[in-house]
Structure formats: C-alpha cells, structure tokens
Structure 1
Amino acid sequence: MPTGLLGGALLGLLAVVSVLSLLIVGNRLVRRHRQRRRERIAAPVRGLLLQLLCAEDDEQTELLHRLTEIDRRTWAALEPNLTALLGKVAGGARTALVRLYELRGAVVDAVAALSSRSAVRRGRAAQVLGQLRHRPAAPSLCRLLADRDPEVRLAAARALGRCGGPESVPFLLEALHGPRAVPPAVVTRALISLGPEAQRSVAAGLEHPEPLARAVTIEVIGATGVVSHTSEIARALREDPQMEVRIKAARALGRLGMPDGLEPLLAAVRPGQPVALRMVGAGALGTLGAVVATGPLAELLGDPDPHVAATAARALLQLGPEGQAALRAVAEDRSRRQAAAQARAVLAESAVGAARHDVRAEVAL
C-alpha cells in the first residue's frame, strides 16, 4: 500500500477512535447528570419514604397518603429507588411499598407500559411488575419473551421468575429457541425461582423435543432437589442422544444424592465414554457421596486423560475417610506411577488447604 494511502487510513482510524471515545465519555456524563438530577428532585420526599419503611401499621396510612399525593415529576425521580427497595425489603416494609404503588396507580401504568412502543418503557415496566410480584401481569410478560428487543426479553424472563406460575413454564422453555432466544442461564434462574408449585410443569420439560429445553429442565431439577424425578434423569443420562443433556443429567444426579444415580454414573465414567461426560460423572460421584464408588474412582487415578484423573482424585476426597485412605494407598503404590503422582498431588493440595484454614481460624481467635 502506498505511504499516502496508509497514512490516510491511519488518520481515519484515529478519527473514528476519537469520536467513539467522545461518545462514550459524553454518554457517561449524561447518565451521571440525570442521576444527580433525579436525586435532587427526590431528596425532599426521601425522608418520608424512610419513615414509611420503619412505620408501624397504624402510622402508615398518613405517610402513604402524603407519598401518593406527590407530583408526577417527583414520583418519576423517586420510582427507581422504590423499585430497588422492593427487592431488598420484606414483611411490613415490602407490603407498604406495594400498597404505595397500588394507591399511586403505578401498577396499572406499568401493565399498560408493557405495550409501549418504547423498549426502555417496556423493559422498565417488566422490572417493576416483577419486583411487585404482580401475578396478573404474567400472561403479558410471557408475550414479551418474544419481544424484538433483547433487553426487554431478559427483563420479562427475570420478572416471570418473581411473579409467574406453572403456566409460565412452557413459555420460558420455548424462549430458549429461535432468533429471539433468551440465554439459558436467565431461563434457568427464572424456573428455579418459580418454586415448588411449578415443579410438575418444569418436569414436563424432560420430554421436550428440543435438547436445550431438556438440559435446562434437568439443571433446574438438580438445583431445586426434586428427588422424585431421579429415575427420569438417570434414564436421560443413559439414553438421551444429546451429549449436553447427558452431562447435565450426570451433574444433577450428583446433586440429588439418591442411590438411583449410582449405577448410571458408574457407567458414565467407564472408558469409551466422551471425556467431558467422564469428568462430570467422576465429579458427580464425589458429590453423591457413595462410598461404594471408591474403587472405580481409584481406578480412574491412572486414566490416560489427566482431567479425568484429577477430577476422580478430588471426588475421592469428598468421600471422606474411605476416599482419603484409597488416595494414600495409591500414592504409595510404586507400580502405578501416574496414578500415584495424581494421588500425591491432590493429598498435598488438601493438606495445604487444611493448613490455611487452621491459620485463618487462629487469626480469627
């Protein structure tokens, strides 16, 4: 490339970088200015809000009336603080905040804003309704899971975790797929937050035709400890055609801690299975806490894959005295050089961790 063209390209690139830097700085300044302006407007009534949170039931009526009567501009500046507080307080303080929203008509406004042309307003309304745990808004929030704006979809999924019910589960599972998909981690957290009443609806996802929906369902069941579905998850570990689902099933069986998970996990760590599955299976055997897995895990200490061997060594530590005894026995076996080295390494790591814990305990005393 001629020197003149190269110089021009560099100058153009420098100009673009400069413009982007100015835009970023300007955006931060604008946000900071708006935040300070909101704080200044809300300052005169912030004391009333604190009084409301601390007031007894018979004192709340007057405070609620005064806060309900504030002008629209002050309410708009105060509302972000109210929304944040809803997620932090409980009991009478939370009840008072919900009542304030109702008296102000903000709940009705938020429901209406779910249909706004503005993505910012739709997302903010979803957040508010979720914090309020306003169950009647769940059908509208389910529709927003397919919103054209990704931030609105995220807000709707999170809100459903707070105010949704069993009827929201199919919509959350369907939101995992397609060009407007919601990230699996967000859907998983929402399904976990739905609580015991949604367990049956969540379990129906084990038969979902999409692998990702089955994988998320299994992760939710493992995280919530619904042991009644251990046999179905064990079957998924043995038979599901998708490796991601089998890996999730192995991890869930370890968390559920039921004897039904032992045999499928032992089969999952055998040679010939994919390395990722064998690693997760070995870790799950440690989490399961089944002492009868000591022998198979000790055999894995000499596995050709170092990741499988290291995971098996740490799983043996989780099995308590029996697992530690197996590690010491292998560490002293000169005929198993690779396995002995792996056992010595994890025993040394464990000793260092115990020493650090003792030091911290002495310092705390």
Structure 2
Amino acid sequence: MISAGIVRGALLILLAVVLVLGLLIVGNRLVRRHRERRRERIAAPVRGSLLQLLCAEEDEQTELLNRLAETDRRTWAALEPTLTALLGKVAGGARTALVRLYELRGAAVDAVADLSSRSAARRGRAAQVLGQLSHRPAAPSLCRLLADHDPEVRLAATRALGRCGGPEAVSYLLEALHGPRAVPPAAVTRALVSLGPEAQRSVATGLEHPQPLARAVAIEVLGATGVVSRTSEIARALREDPQIEVRVKAARALGRLGMPEGLEPLLAAVRPGQPVALRMVGAGALGTLGAVAATGPLAELLGDPDRHVAATAARALLQIGPEGRAELQAAADDSGGPAAAQARAVLAESAVGAARDDVRAEVAL
C-alpha cells in the first residue's frame, strides 16, 4: 500500500505545479498588458494626426502624410498595429491615404524583408500587411510561406495571396492543401475565390489534379465564381470522378452554375443506388438549378427510404416554383404514407415562413 507520506508529497508537488502554472499565466498577461500600455503611450502623440488623415480631403493629406511618415522607428513600431487593423476596416479615401502612408514610409519594402525573419510573429504580421496593401510584388515570397513551419504564418500567407496574388499563385495554393504542413481547405478556397476572374483559367487546371482534395476545391471555386464555361467539365467530374467528395462538390457547383447541361448528371446523381450524401446534395442542386423538368424525379423522392433525401427533395420542389409546389400539394393531399407526411411538413414550414415575413413587413411599415 502507498504510505500517507507519499500521497501527501505527491499532492504537494501537484499543488506546486498548479501554483507555478498559475503564476506563469498571470505573469504573461501582465507583461502583455504592460507592452500594450507602453505601445499606446508611445503612439499617443501621433494618434491625433492619424485620425485627421483618415478624415481629411485628398488635397489636405500631404502635410499629414509627411508628418506621420517621418516619425521615428520607435513611434512607428508602436503605431503600426493600429495601422494594420485600420487597413482591414476602412475603405475609399481613408484606405488610399493609409496605403500612401505605407508607401512613403517604405513599409512595404520592410514587410517583404520581414517575410524572411526568424520570428514567426514578424513573418505573419508582414504577410498580413502586404495582403492588406495588395502589394503584388510580394506574391512570390508569400507563395514560399505557404510551406512555413508555423501554421499561423501559412494562414496569413494564404489570406494575403487572396488579396495580392494572381494566376501564378493558384498552383501553389492548390499544392498547399496537402502534406504535413497543409493549409485548411476553407482558407485556400476563400483565397482562390478572391483572386477574381483573371485566375479562373488557372483554377480550372485543378480539375485534373491528381489529389482529390485539390479537384474538389477547384470545383467549389468554379461554382462559387460562376464560371459557366466549365459546366461540361464539372458535369464529367460528377459522373466519373472516383472520389465521392469530388462528386458532391461537383453536384453543388452544377446547381449554382444554373446551366441546362447540369440537369441530366444531377438526375443521375439522385437515383437509388448512389451514395446518400450525393443524393442529398444532388436533390438540393436540382432545386437551385430550378429546372421544371426535375419536378417529377424530385416528387418521386418524397417517399425515399432516407428521410434526409426526402426532406431535401421536398424543399427543392419549393425552389422550382409553382410546378414544384403543385407536386407537393398533390402529395400532401394523398391519404397517407411518408411522401404525404414529408410534403405536409415542408408546406407547413413554408407557410410559417411566409407568415413571419408578412409580420416583419408590417412592423417595418
């Protein structure tokens, strides 16, 4: 048996560890608060000029810009976190003024140099600044940071490339989806969408990527950005891709693109025997597509053994319009069965939503 002395000793050690950890946490907070207050104190003399700059007319900005650009390094370092935050929040003339301030200060050049810093915090902050400045020359260096050992730096570089990258960044972003230093797919998708129309051709090359995740992301981006010229390729992915994740993304994209070419592949995707996840997304996509020709097949799904597929089909019928609502009403008027119950539930849900909208409209008046 363990003696009482050993137990007491272990408890004392545990209490000592807890106490030390508590002191470390409190100490860290105090140090951080001290640094923030010190930074605010140093930046205080120029904050008024910064506020004037943001509110000034263009012809009144020159003197203020010169004054702020000539501040000493210590004051600029204290003010920069505020500038970085403002860059992500303001627009129009205020944003233009901040960009000019960074240019006069040479901060973009300094930020590019900081991308090679040993400090992960400095690399991440530099990437953030360059993205907010839309500093296109930094794109190659940011592409290299997609493989940084620090995950926060990789995320910062991904977001920055969405703002300052071009078609040449697409392949790097798609490759960043894989490996031990992968970037989350959602971040890559947002960056690729933000690159705009000039990158669409490069994104489309991802449809042939050997990695299924890259194909799935490429399809999602093409669907989200409305690249209707790639409808046939996305339809082929829905029919033929070996990975269910890619086929699901293709089904959703075809609904968003809204082209007639998407109808037949989507009808095939909802047939019995297909994976449930694909049938659900396919049914929803048929509703988004809005093709009247899908009314009959969707009505047949109201009695599907999988209730999720049936519920999605019922809501898709509502999206189609009067023809779909008529099918729902006919099913609801039936004497019974799962199809009738599903149709009644969705019609009731629609009626409640319509009544709520009416009340809100009356309140607004």
TM-score, length-scaled by structure 1: 0.94
The separation in 1 between residues aligned to 2:34 and 2:180, in whole angstroms, is 36
Q: Match for residue 342 of structure 2?
A: 342
Instruction: Decide whether aligned partners of structure 1 residues 28 and 256 sit closer, same or farther in structure 2, where only a CA change above 3 A counts.
Output: farther
Q: Match for residue 240 of structure 1?
A: 241
Instruction: Decide whether aligned partners of structure 1 residues 37 and 361 sit closer, same or farther in structure 2, where only a CA change above 3 A counts.
Output: farther
Q: Match for residue 71 of structure 2?
A: 70
Instruction: Decide whether aligned partners of structure 1 residues 26 and 323 sit closer, same or farther in structure 2, where only a CA change above 3 A counts.
Output: farther
Q: Match for residue 213 of structure 2?
A: 212
Matched, 1:290 2:291: yes
Cα deviations by residue, 1:182-235 (Å, 9 ceiling, x for unpaired): 010000000000011111111111111110000000000011111110110000
Q: Match for residue 149 of structure 1?
A: 150
Instruction: Decide whether aligned partners of structure 1 residues 107 and 9 sit closer, same or farther in structure 2, where only a CA change above 3 A counts.
Output: same
The separation in 1 between residues aligned to 2:343 and 2:100, in whole angstroms, is 61
Cα deviations by residue, 1:233-292 (Å, 9 ceiling, x for unpaired): 000000001110000000000111111111000000000000000000001111111111
Instruction: Decide whether aligned partners of structure 1 residues 60 and 316 sit closer, same or farther in structure 2, where only a CA change above 3 A counts.
Output: same
**Paired AA for residue 346 in structure 1:** V
Q: Match for residue 363 of structure 1?
A: 363
Shift of residue 12, structure 1, vs aligned partner: 5.9
Matched, 1:224 2:207: no
Q: Match for residue 194 of structure 1?
A: 195
Cα deviations by residue, 1:5-41 (Å, 9 ceiling, x for unpaired): 7777677666655554554444344333333332232
3-state SS of paired residue (1:146): coil
Q: Match for residue 259 of structure 1?
A: 260
3-state SS of paired residue (1:235): helix
The separation in 2 between residues aligned to 1:273 and 1:10, in whole angstroms, is 59
Instruction: Decide whether aligned partners of structure 1 residues 24 and 346 sit closer, same or farther in structure 2, where only a CA change above 3 A counts.
Output: farther
Q: Which moved more, 1:73-82 or 1:124-133?
A: 73-82
**Paired AA for residue 341 in structure 2:** A
3-state SS of paired residue (2:101): helix
Q: Match for residue 329 of structure 2?
A: 328
Q: Which moved more, 1:31-40 or 1:124-133?
A: 31-40
**Paired AA for residue 106 in structure 1:** A
Q: Which moved more, 1:204-213 or 1:56-65?
A: 56-65
**Paired AA for residue 364 in structure 1:** A
Q: Match for residue 108 of structure 2?
A: 107
Shift of residue 73, structure 1, vs aligned partner: 1.5
The separation in 2 between residues aligned to 1:235 and 1:12, in whole angstroms, is 64
Q: Which moved more, 1:204-213 or 1:100-109?
A: 100-109
Q: Which moved more, 1:82-91 or 1:238-247?
A: 82-91
Instruction: Decide whether aligned partners of structure 1 residues 341 and 114 sit closer, same or farther in structure 2, where only a CA change above 3 A counts.
Output: same
Cα deviations by residue, 1:117-175 (Å, 9 ceiling, x for unpaired): 11111111111101111000000000000011111111111100000000000000000
The separation in 1 between residues aligned to 2:224 and 2:202, in whole angstroms, is 16
Q: Match for residue 46 of structure 1?
A: 47
Q: Match for residue 351 of structure 2?
A: 351
Shift of residue 176, structure 1, vs aligned partner: 0.4
Q: Which moved more, 1:228-237 or 1:6-15?
A: 6-15
Q: Which moved more, 1:90-99 or 1:339-348?
A: 90-99
The separation in 2 between residues aligned to 1:150 and 1:267, in whole angstroms, is 41
**Paired AA for residue 354 in structure 2:** A
The separation in 2 between residues aligned to 1:62 and 1:328, in whole angstroms, is 70
The separation in 2 between residues aligned to 1:259 and 1:151, in whole angstroms, is 42
TM-score, length-scaled by structure 2: 0.94
Q: Match for residue 32 of structure 2?
A: 31
Q: Which moved more, 1:235-244 or 1:6-15?
A: 6-15
**Paired AA for residue 259 in structure 2:** M
The separation in 1 between residues aligned to 2:340 and 2:8, in whole angstroms, is 62
The separation in 2 between residues aligned to 1:3 and 1:251, in whole angstroms, is 66
The separation in 1 between residues aligned to 2:362 and 2:309, in whole angstroms, is 36
The separation in 1 between residues aligned to 2:360 and 2:155, in whole angstroms, is 41
Q: Match for residue 61 of structure 2?
A: 60
Instruction: Decide whether aligned partners of structure 1 residues 253 and 47 sit closer, same or farther in structure 2, where only a CA change above 3 A counts.
Output: same
Q: Match for residue 79 of structure 1?
A: 80
Matched, 1:92 2:80: no
**Paired AA for residue 249 in structure 1:** A
Shift of residue 60, structure 1, vs aligned partner: 1.5
Q: Match for residue 281 of structure 1?
A: 282
The separation in 2 between residues aligned to 1:166 and 1:212, in whole angstroms, is 19
**Paired AA for residue 116 in structure 2:** S
